Copies of this chain bind each other. A is one copy, B any other.
Amino acid sequence: MEALRQMILSQGKGIGSDIVKVDMFLNHRIDTKLLFAMGEAWADEFRGEKPDLVLTVEASGIAMAVAAAHALGDIPVVFAKKSNTAVLSQETVQAGVYSFTHKTQNTIRIERKYLPEGSRVLIIDDFLADGQAVEGMMNLCQQQKAEVIGVGIAVEKGFQEGGTKLREAGIHLKSLAIVDGIENGEIILRPEDD
């Protein structure tokens, strides 16, 4: 998506070999105009799959999920909650998510009634790196017998394996920008294929 790509190139920062800092427009300060244009881009990609709800995980995925849900005709958003501890409850479903960045194991959970059996789910998140967060959300959907109709990502780190794994598994994945690497602080974007 051209507007996001231009913003990454003009304002994003590459740090070391693998950190893509976009908190000036995406996940600390939010450029609201860009955000809603991103929502439209995801909606254009997934509208035909007729999603019933958008699923994300707190905190930085929420804004993007809301923008996508708005563009899809104000369908509901559900955000999984993060916690450090597993809490067993009949009313909630949960999945483990390992963070390679922070070297921590987290649990994400959701109240079962908000992810009904048979619902068609669009997963939205800000980053796709090793794919742990998306796989955790797919795990929640699987436990609830909900169908993941697609995954919309803002920034995919093309040099980590999450995107490849999802595509090989036949998941409909749309990353609005793909970073292929960082060289001397410069973010290298993969050319758009469409």
Contacts and interface: CB of A to CB of B under 8 A. Distances in A.
Interface of A: 23-24, 28-33, 35-36, 58-60, 62-63, 66-67, 69-70, 74-79, 81, 110-111, 113-114
Given A63-B77, A70-B70, 13 more contacts: A28-B78, A28-B111, A29-B77, A29-B114, A32-B69, A32-B75, A33-B74, A36-B70, A58-B58, A59-B59, A59-B79, A63-B63, A66-B67
Please state the number of chain copies in the assembly. Answer: 2
- Main DSSP-derived SS at the A contact region: mixed
3 closest A-B pairs by beta carbon, nearest first, are A58-B59, A59-B59, A33-B74
Contact of A62 (B62, B78, B81, B113): B62
Contacts of A62: 59, 62-63, 66
A28 B31 CA distance: 23
